[in-house]
Amino acid sequence: MAATVIDGKALAAECKARVAEEVKGLSGRPGLAVIIVGDDPASRTYVNSKRKDCAECGIYSEEYALPAETGQEGLLSVIQTLNGREDIDGILCQLPLPAGMGYDEEEVLLAIDPDKDVDGFHPVNVGRLSTGQKCFLPCTPAGVMEMLRAYGVDPEGKECVVIGRSNIVGKPMAMLLLAANGTVTVCHSRTPDLPAVCRRADILVSAVGRRGLVTADMVKEGAVVIDVAMNRDERGKLCGDVDYAAVAEKAAYITPVPGGVGPMTRAMLMVNTLEAARRHGK
């Protein structure tokens, strides 16, 4: 029996509609500032999409497109200005920063006010997440949790396997599943017998960025398979880590690429920006 496809595009539209309705009830309009350094095509596409999302949700947006040669001090100066502006509730610096230009991404993330860190990357928010305190959740893992909730998949008591240990997805994904009472295993490049570990999973999340990594023989019958990765095949077509056609024959639920986790990541940025505006008394 073929898996139920988790429609991230439809869920994201519903989520943004809720945000737009709640924005109407605020005393002031939420504001999001997006900084992009250089001219990376993928980053530019993503930033353009965020601008469109803001318009749909009634959120004021500003874009700061800085030349790659701006330098660390120039970038930090823009962030500090935005930190002090009352009309800007959220600040997002699009990563990665241009390679070979001397940028220190860690210093950049630290410079953003934690109460405007709508990406959820600042160590203060990471620390709050790890200790179960209220914080801005990283958008991709938060989007995955919303997808599970919407389709009635409760992690409590289930074996959850996360492939990938990045600070942006893998680690916070594991923490959110753990907070939902899942039993969580995090796999990575040094994990012995990865297929055997994956076959234990009731919920399998892959966030590596390696096309064809997760094959049907690695998936338990009836598992929930979440593909976070965005890769391109030999024809340039978008795809994830999962061998979609084969795995869909075994899984109970599966996310497509594109149209799965990606739209929900962007929707959760709108949710975080709304929350930031509320924190700022709007």
- Asked if residues 211 and 233 have their Cβ atoms less than 8 Å apart, the reply is yes
Q: Which amino acid is at 210?
A: R
The structure tokens listed for 107 are: 């210093």
How far is 144 from 12, CA to CA, in rounded Å?
Answer: 11
Tell me which of 7, 16, 89, 94 is the catalytic residue.
Answer: 94
The yes-or-no answer on residue 80 being catalytic is no
For 93, the 3-state DSSP assignment is strand
Element (H, E) at 76: helix 72-83
Burial 117-136 (b: 16+ CB within 10 A, else e): bbbbbbebbbebbeeeeebb
9 is catalytic: no
**Which one of 50, 158, 220, 250 is the catalytic residue?**
50
Question: Is 125 within 8 Å of 139 (Cβ atoms)?
Answer: no
Closest C-alpha among 78, 126, 72, 123 to residue 102:
72
**How far apart (Å, rounded) are the C-alpha atoms in residues 89 and 272?**
10
Asked about 104 being catalytic, the answer comes back as no
Q: Please report, in angstroms and rounded to a whole number, the separation of the first and last CA atoms in the chain.
A: 49
Nearest to 44 by CA among 88, 9, 110, 96: 96
Backbone angles phi, psi at 149, to 5 degrees: -60, -45
From the candidates 7, 40, 53, 119, which is the catalytic residue?
A: 119
Residues with active-site annotation: 50, 94, 119
